[in-house]
């Protein structure tokens, strides 16, 4: 953040009018001698303060992504809470909100469809928030699993990823390797092209790629000896269109899925809150030399005491959006 400020007395700060373009002001003077001409005076323009705290672009992105994720997750959590209450009421017989359940399910579906545009780019289709990193799409490669790789003995696999064929990357899977070792070997091999590999809860390979690049990857993966392979995208964790309220068993199943989805959203909210706090803490503790900070504050105080229009305009422009509550919140992070 850099404020455009100029001290009233150039000696009060290191930023001087000589370092900036001068504003030419023409004043008509009525002299006694009729042959006298217009006198031109040169006055210094408001000089921008050359010192300031410059926030790292990545840091700003992390703050924005976490804030948007929290806003989005809060809306989804509220809708899930409302659905949970309606389903519970219908199961216990307290009321029969069948139409309301249907309407809320449609509303939740719309919110999930808007995830990419409203979630800040950090929430994936499983509604996970991974520390502020851009959202990734999880997928599997049909027929390329742990069991098949372990049973094939030692093999060297070459990968080409992307519509242009991409760089040729190769990994050797040796006989006797565990599932963890296979996943780690493939992850190291494919990470240069932004494809990561891990194991799921069933110890099966699951791949992931940046969501923004998934369209150009999903139909463009080739493996030596197999050619172009089929990829299967992991389905979204929440599917409101599949929830029904037609019979008691379906109601209870829908309620279980809503409760599970709500727990996942709460975990993501905690992760986003932690990421936001860390990013805000980093911005609040940017270290500046004490002498430099003293000059900055001196420049600001001198300019604030000035009655020069340009300087006061610079101050008001720099302080737009800075509220008492925001300042107190940042100070409270120390």
- The confidence score (pLDDT) of residue 56 equals 58
Least confident stretch, 184-198, 200-214, 300-314: 300-314
**Is residue 121 predicted with pLDDT exceeding 70?**
yes
Using pLDDT thresholds of 50, 70 and 90, give the confidence band for residue 246: confident
| In-domain check, residue 176 | yes
| In-domain check, residue 244 | yes
| In-domain check, residue 36 | yes
CA atoms of 76 and 240, how far apart (whole Å): 12
The domain total for the chain is 3
Residues 63 and 123 in one domain: yes
| In-domain check, residue 298 | no
| In-domain check, residue 1 | no
The residues near 133 (Cβ < 8 Å, ≥ 6 apart) are 122
Q: Give the residue with greater pLDDT, 156 vs 294.
A: 156
Residues 182 and 148 in one domain: yes
Length of the chain in residues, anyone? 334
**Geometric angle at alpha carbon 91, from 85 and 94, rounded to 5°:** 75
Q: Counting Cβ atoms within 10 Å, is residue 120 exposed (0-12), middle (13-18) or buried (19+)?
A: buried
**Is residue 45 predicted with pLDDT exceeding 70?**
no
**Is residue 41 predicted with pLDDT exceeding 70?**
no
Using pLDDT thresholds of 50, 70 and 90, give the confidence band for residue 247: confident
Q: Give the residue with greater pLDDT, 175 vs 298.
A: 175
Residues 224 and 244 in one domain: no
Residues 108 and 63 in one domain: yes
Least confident stretch, 100-104, 194-198, 241-245: 241-245
CA atoms of 107 and 193, how far apart (whole Å): 37
- The confidence score (pLDDT) of residue 85 equals 93
Q: Which tokens sit at 64?
A: 């924005």
| In-domain check, residue 136 | no
Q: Give the residue with greater pLDDT, 222 vs 313.
A: 222
CA atoms of 202 and 205, how far apart (whole Å): 9
The residues near 244 (Cβ < 8 Å, ≥ 6 apart) are 250, 251, 254
Provide the Cα torsion 42, 43, 44, 45; round to 10°: -110
Range of the domain at 319: 10-48+309-331
Phi, psi of 307 (to 5 degrees): -105, 10
Mean pLDDT taken over the chain: 78
The Cα-based distances of 17 to 6, 7, 14, 273, 284 in angstroms read 8, 10, 10, 45, 31
- The confidence score (pLDDT) of residue 97 equals 81
pLDDT in tens, 142-178: 999 999 999 998 999 999 998 666 667 999 999 999 9
Q: What's the rounded mean pLDDT across residues 228-232?
A: 93
| In-domain check, residue 289 | no
- The confidence score (pLDDT) of residue 131 equals 74
The residues near 221 (Cβ < 8 Å, ≥ 6 apart) are 141, 159, 160, 161, 228, 229, 231
Q: What's the rounded mean pLDDT across residues 267-272?
A: 92
Q: Give the residue with greater pLDDT, 9 vs 265.
A: 265
- The confidence score (pLDDT) of residue 158 equals 93
- The confidence score (pLDDT) of residue 34 equals 44
- The confidence score (pLDDT) of residue 23 equals 38
Q: Give the residue with greater pLDDT, 320 vs 38.
A: 320
Secondary structure of residue 242 in the 3-state scheme = helix
Residues 225 and 161 in one domain: yes
Residues 221 and 176 in one domain: yes
Nearest to 268 by CA among 110, 133, 137: 133
CA atoms of 132 and 136, how far apart (whole Å): 11
Q: Give the residue with greater pLDDT, 44 vs 67.
A: 67
Residues 246 and 277 in one domain: yes
Least confident stretch, 159-163, 213-217, 254-258, 289-293: 289-293
Least confident stretch, 5-14, 93-102, 105-114: 5-14
| In-domain check, residue 271 | yes
Domain end, chosen from 229, 259, 291, is at: 229
- The confidence score (pLDDT) of residue 64 equals 80
Residues 159 and 184 in one domain: yes
Nearest to 10 by CA among 314, 306, 315: 306
- The confidence score (pLDDT) of residue 18 equals 39
Residues 149 and 182 in one domain: yes
**Is residue 51 predicted with pLDDT exceeding 80?**
no
Residues 150 and 205 in one domain: yes
Residues 225 and 148 in one domain: yes
Q: Where are the alpha helices (DSSP H) in the chain?
A: 57-92, 98-113, 115-118, 146-151, 179-190, 248-284, 290-305, 309-318, 324-331
The Cα-based distances of 326 to 68, 132, 190, 322 in angstroms read 17, 22, 43, 7
Secondary structure of residue 210 in the 3-state scheme = strand
Residues 22 and 92 in one domain: no
Q: Which position has the token pair 């023409």?
A: 26
Q: Which position has the token pair 């809470």?
A: 81
**Is residue 5 predicted with pLDDT exceeding 70?**
no
Contact between 49 and 311 (Cβ < 8 Å): no
The dihedral sign for the CA sequence 239, 244, 250, 251: positive
């Amino acid at each position: 953040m850099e404020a455009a400020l100029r001290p009233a007395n150039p000696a009060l700060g290191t930023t001087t009018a000589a370092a900036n373009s001068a504003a030419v002001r023409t004043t008509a003077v009525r002299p006694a001698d009729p042959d006298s001409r217009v006198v031109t005076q040169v006055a210094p323009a408001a000089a921008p303060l050359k010192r300031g705290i410059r926030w790292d672009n990545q840091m700003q992105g992390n703050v924005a992504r976490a804030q948007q994720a929290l806003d989005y997750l809060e809306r989804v959590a509220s809708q899930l809470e409302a659905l949970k209450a309606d389903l519970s009421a219908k199961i216990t017989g307290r009321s029969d909100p069948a139409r309301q359940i249907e309407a809320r399910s449609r509303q939740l579906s719309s919110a999930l469809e808007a995830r990419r545009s409203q979630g800040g780019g950090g929430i994936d289709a499983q509604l996970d928030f991974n520390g502020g990193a851009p959202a990734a799409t999880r997928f599997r490669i049909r027929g390329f699993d742990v069991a098949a790789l372990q049973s094939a003995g030692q093999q060297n696999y070459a990968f080409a990823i992307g519509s242009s064929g991409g760089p040729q990357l190769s990994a050797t899977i040796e006989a006797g390797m565990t599932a963890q070792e296979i996943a780690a070997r493939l992850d190291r091999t494919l990470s240069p092209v932004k494809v990561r590999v891990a194991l799921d809860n069933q110890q099966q390979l699951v791949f992931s790629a940046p969501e923004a690049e998934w369209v150009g990857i999903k139909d463009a993966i080739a493996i030596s000896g197999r050619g172009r392979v089929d990829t299967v995208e992991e389905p979204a964790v929440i599917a409101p269109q599949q929830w029904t309220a037609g019979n008691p068993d379906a109601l209870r199943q829908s309620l279980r899925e809503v409760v599970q989805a709500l727990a996942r959203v709460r975990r993501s909210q905690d992760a986003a809150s932690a990421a936001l706090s860390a990013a805000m803490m980093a911005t609040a503790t940017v270290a500046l030399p004490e002498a430099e900070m003293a000059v900055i504050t001196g420049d600001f105080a001198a300019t604030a005491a000035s009655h020069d229009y340009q300087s006061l305009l610079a101050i008001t422009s720099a302080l737009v959006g800075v509220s008492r509550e925001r300042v107190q919140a940042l100070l409270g992070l120390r």
